Structures are given as C-alpha cells and as structure tokens.
Structure 1
Amino acid sequence: MTVQRRHDPDVRGFASDNYAGVHPEILEAIAVANGGHQVSYGEDVYTEHLQEVFRGHFGPGARTFPVLNGTGANVVALQAMLDRWQAVVCAESAHINVDECGAPEKVGGIKLLTVPAGDGKLTPELIDRQAWGFDDQHRAQPKVVSITQSTEFGTCYTPDEIRAVCDHAHDLGMLVYLDGARLANAAATLGVPLRAMTTDAGVDVLSLGGTKNGLLLGEAVVVLNEDAVRGMHHIRKAGMQLASKMRFISAQFEALLGGDLWLRSAGHSNAMTRRLYEAVRDLPGLEIPRPVQANQIFAILPRQVTERLQKRFRFYVWNEQIGEVRWMTSFDTTEADVDAFAAAIAEELAAG
C-alpha cells in the first residue's frame, strides 16, 4: 500500500516548532540506522556511541538516557532526583506546571511548589519564596529547583544567571534540573556552547530537546551529577519511556549533535523570529510585551484581528483575557513564510 500525501507541504504555521516535519539530515540518519538487527532497549551500537557524542558537549561525566518525549523526560528525571516526600520549586509558567496535564503529579507523584516569574526566569530571591520549611514533617520538602532554557516566554537565562540559581540551590542542599526542550535555541541566541549553561553553571540533571529542533521523535535526559539521581534505568522503564528500538532515537541525536546541525537549525529558527519581529514591531495596534530572545514572539492583538488572522495562519492564543498570542518559528521556516505572515498581520490590523 502506498501512503498518499494528505497535506500541502507548502503550508506553514506559526503555532509551534512541533508543527515542523523532520529535518532531511535526520531522516537520512534514520535510514542509515535501519536494516539488519541490533539489540533492543538501548543495548545497540548507536546508543553506545551516543554517550561519547553527549560527553563531547557536556563533559566526560555526562550520562545520557534517550526517552520518547519531553513530558516523559521531565517526569523520569524529576522522579529520579526526588524522594516521595520531596518537592520541586518552579515558575508558575513552567511546562511541568502548565502544559503536562498534571503528569508530574499523577504519574510521578511529585509536588510542585510554584512561584510567579514575570519573565519566566527564577532567581535566588524567587526560589526563597518556596525554599523553606526544611525538616518540617507537615510540608513537602523542597529538594529540586527546576528551570527552563529557553523559558516558556522565550526568554533566555545567561550562564551567570543559571550559575546564581545553582549556587543558591546547592547552598540550600537542593538540586537543579534544567528543562532544555529549547536549549539549542538559547545557545544560538547567547553564542555559547551547551555546557556553558549546564555543566559549567552547576546544573545537576537536564533534558535536551530533539523534537522541537528537527527530530522525528526523541528527547534525552542527561545526568551531570551522578549523586543527584538514583534508579534511572528502572524509573525510565516504569515510566513507559524505554524505547525498544532505541537505535533510531540515538541515531537522530548523533546526526543532530555530532556536527553543527543542532546549532544551524536553532540559529535559523531564531533568525526567522527576529525577521518577523522586525517586520511587525512598529505596526499600529500591536504590542509586543515580552523580550524576543529565541524563537518565540508574544504579541497582544485586538480579538477580531486574531480571529481573522487565525483563519489564514495557525497560531495559539496564550492569554485570552488580554488578547496575548504566541508566534513561533522552526528550522524549516523560510523568509518567504515570515514575509507572508507579516503582511497578513499588517493587513488584518489595518482592517481593524
């Protein structure tokens, strides 16, 4: 049976970098890894070699666990870092709090202690709002600080800001987990290697996103501090995140990180966001309330403009109350895509 193409490959949206297809170099890597038999559940030669690839980015002590998706990576990593009576301090806007359907609580049994962070970034002062009550048997014990790079608002921590978070958390006897679903975009924005925001800054465990940067599927949990986790192999399996044909996840990550594909793709996505920002920033009737630092733009539009525009291009409404929307670009967004979307925004704003 031949599969028919059921979509127009020329159509582009600005809702999420997850809308994009698979990068051609990633598809090639999957094809290379195909054929013949390899041991399942991560005992294949591609997964074995992947450890070296990740150590090249994160240092000789890094240990990598490929998983299936981002929510799984977060839940598996945090479970491995926590005892049942312990809790995670995170921003109210954190993906683990807002966008995972309660998976950390329901699947991981994890208590989340949230704090407001207007730009999505935690600071030592914000952490202290929830990092208290140690040894109080009536309170879930704060143990892990979770940050996101880049944040859910598209802002980026500098390496020094992450170092300040890590130093403060460690002084309190806590650990730091970094949700790196878009870590590549932050590295491209800041012009620093991946380890500058993780290993060198004191992060204990992180997830590294692949799907948002051109992979078919797959994320990775990277353990930088062996003392920060326990039972990773068992928790990954019990959490339904152990891929049987793991070689196909590992081969994708080798293609992504073995050269500069991760940086080329993220850098291009960021550049397309910057192009869109420059094209619309001064349009009457449009407000951009947040810094534009990676591959996300948050804008406030009149409701009727948003409704008409969404009939032409897909994107999400972020905050219904104030009319805030989110626009995102991806590795395959073209300049023509951006220019067409910017023209549509201008047209709809002019129509009132």
Structure 2
Amino acid sequence: MNFASDNVFGIHPKIFAAIEAANKGTSASYGYDDYSKRAEEKLSAVFGKEVRAFLVTTGTAANGLALSALSPSYGAVLTHAEAHAFVDECNSPEMFTGGAKIIGLHGIEGKITPAIVEKALKGFIRAEHDPKPSALSITNSTELGRVYTPSEIKALSAVLKPRKMKFHTDGARFANAVASLGVAPAEITWKSGIDVMSFGGTKNGGMLLEAVVFFDTALAEDFVYRRMRGGQLVSKSRYLGAQMLAYLEGDLWLDNARIANGYAKRLADGLKTSNRIRIPLPTDANEVFAVVPRALHDKLQAAGAHYYDWMPDTLGPDGVKDDEIFVRFVLSYATPPEDVDRFIGLVKELSSA
C-alpha cells in the first residue's frame, strides 16, 4: 500500500514500448531528431496554438529554466510559499536565473489570489533597492491538490499584465488538473494568460518526461542556449521525444490522470466514513490530505501503509492537535485499486481495535 507519491510507480507500458521502438537504428541527436520535432508539433496540437517546446529530464530543471526566461538576475518571482520552486528545489530557480529572488506568498489550499499578489506588490516601494517584480509562478494542480480554474488564472493575469510581469505554471501534475476540470488544456494556460509552463509527465507514466512549453514564443529566443548551459540538452534526445509522443498519443496522459483522480476520490470517500479521520481539503486531483490520530497513524505505518506526513502549519494554528498528524496520500494510474480498498478496510479495522 504505497501512497507516498506518484513517482514511486514505473513507466507506463506504452511509453516503455515507445522507448524500445526508438532504440532501433540511428537518429539525429541533440534535439534535432524526428521524435523531438514531432513532439513539439503534437504539443502545439494539444494546446491549440503553435508553441515552442523544449524537452528536459526533470521538473526542477523545467521550472528553473522556464523562470530564467522570464526574470532577469535582479528580478523577483512571486510564488506560493509551499510551491516546489520555493521550498523543494534547493535554490535551483535562483541558480538558473542568475540570482533572481524567489518570494513565497501565503495562501489557503496552496493557491494565490489577486489580492495576495496586489498586497505583495505594494511592498515594492524602494525602486532599484528592491528586486524588480518580474513573474508569478503558480502550481496547477497545487501542492495541496487543489486546481486553479480558468477564471482564477485570468484574474491573476489581469494583475500581472499591466505591470508587464510574466506568468508561469508549474504543471508537474497538469494532466490531473485538466482531467479534474474537464476543460481543454488551452483554457487554463495561454487563453487565461499563461506565458510559459513546465509540462510534466514523469509523475503520470513517463520515465524522464518534462517539457518547457512557451505560449509566448518570443520568450523562447535563446532558450536553446539556456537549456544547453543548464546541462539539459540530452544527446540521445530521441528517447525524450518518443516518450512525449507516446504520452500524448490517444490522450494517454489524460486517461492516466483520470484514473489517478478517480482512485483519489475513492480513497477520500472511504476515509470520510471513519469518525477518526478528518479530510480538511477538497480532493480535486490525485492527492488526498487527512488529519489522522497519531496512534492510528503509527498502527497504519506498522501495517505496511506508506504515505508522507505534511506540514501542519498548512491548516493554521488550530488545524492539527498535538495528538494528531497531517498526512498526504498520492494516487497514481498504476496504484492497485485493491490497495485503496485494503487501506480503507485497515482504517476501519484499526479504528475499532
């Protein structure tokens, strides 16, 4: 029963087969292969507009490189205080941008609102003594499993554009957000004001499957140099392109996300039947957050359940009691459904023991 992350599972068989097929014969290298070119074309079709897409191997690299195209070294990038770009990437965005300041903003359920951005920007009163507000980065779905809607993204964009700030999405679980909302990918990206995104696939069936996708293609000027300098230009790039093509073919990416989201809802609904566990956040995508009595948590872990405890401050000072623990479960398309049912049954069994 492993609910620690969607990273714990392997490669989807169709993607694995695509890698194996690409292994035959010879191919151009360093991004000039046919697979990578067709992957960019396919991403343009998925988003309904011509994009520039650059394949990379990690989400950390995708975020850092994307932000380096949006902010100068003397700039400031606003993001959520729990976002990967702020707390989980070991100052990688600062490195890739050459020193831009990443500023974490506090918002409920992992979301940033226009009011939060407006308040933060009012603090930039010292002219060149402050960094220059250059970009906003949101995570969709968020670190707490919530999903930004088109209207929410448009409202944020309306704050940024008059100030000539750029807009980035960390889409490590973008497929889960699209599947949750049931909208076209364009609706929560370029049509709502997003300039560039980190398009993730590794968590959803890929092996090394990330891309920096530019909707404002003018921002992609010189990005080939940024990717090369950042050590992300893969020589045998056909293997990245082949993965992306298989991921997008027949909407595999959305099918996987729908399955994962469905398992998350199944788990959340099951846990809600327990009078010992609280589900304080809606389950929009493939993450479930719960407040569990510490004694029950210990028993569940001892019984072989794997999941992470989470930052209790997320729920505020009164959200988690001393004898409780705030935890996260992540579901994958590859999660055995019997594990979900087994865990729900285990909760009921141990709660009554």
Structure 1 length as normaliser, TM-score? 0.93
Task: Give the Å deviation of 1:261.
Answer: 0.4
Q: Which residue of 1 aligns with 2:10?
A: 21
Choose the corresponding residue for 1:318, options 310, 315, 325: 310
Q: Secondary structure at the match of 1:327?
A: strand
CA distance in 2, matches of 1:306, 1:241: 40
Structure with the higher helix share, 1 or 2: 2
Output one character per residue of 1:95-124: Cα deviation in whole Å (capped at 9) or x when no partner.
Answer: 111211222224542311221111111111
Choose the corresponding residue for 1:297, options 288, 301, 304: 288
Q: Which residue of 1 aligns with 2:218?
A: 227
Output one character per residue of 1:188-221: Cα deviation in whole Å (capped at 9) or x when no partner.
Answer: 1111121111021110000111101100112000
1:13-92 correspondence runs (5 A): 13-92=2-81
Are residue 251 (structure 1) and residue 253 (structure 2) matched?
Answer: no
Q: Secondary structure at the match of 2:197?
A: strand
Q: Which residue of 1 aligns with 2:317?
A: none
Q: Secondary structure at the match of 2:290?
A: strand
CA distance in 2, matches of 1:347, 1:99: 36
Contact 2:30/2:234 (<8 A) preserved: yes
Task: Give the Å deviation of 1:279.
Answer: 0.9
1:131 aligned partner, one-letter code? L
Are residue 328 (structure 1) and residue 330 (structure 2) matched?
Answer: yes
Q: Where does the alignment leave 5 or more consecutive residues of structure 1 unmatched?
A: 1-11
1:85-164 correspondence runs (5 A): 85-108=74-97, 109-132=99-122, 133=124, 136-164=127-155
CA distance in 1, matches of 2:190, 2:162: 17
From the superposition, tell whether residues 188 and 171 of structure 1 become closer, same or farther in structure 2 (CA, over 3 Å): same
Output one character per residue of 1:318-341: Cα deviation in whole Å (capped at 9) or x when no partner.
Answer: 026731000010011232121011
Q: Once the two structures are aligned, what percentage of the paired residues are identical?
A: 39
CA distance in 2, matches of 1:292, 1:78: 29
Contact 1:134/1:141 (<8 A) preserved: no
Output one character per residue of 1:127-176: Cα deviation in whole Å (capped at 9) or x when no partner.
Answer: 11222427711111111010010000000011111111112211221110
Question: Structure 1 segments of 4 or more deviating over 6 A?
Answer: none
CA distance in 2, matches of 1:229, 1:83: 14
Task: Give the Å deviation of 1:52.
Answer: 1.1
Q: Secondary structure at the match of 1:145?
A: strand
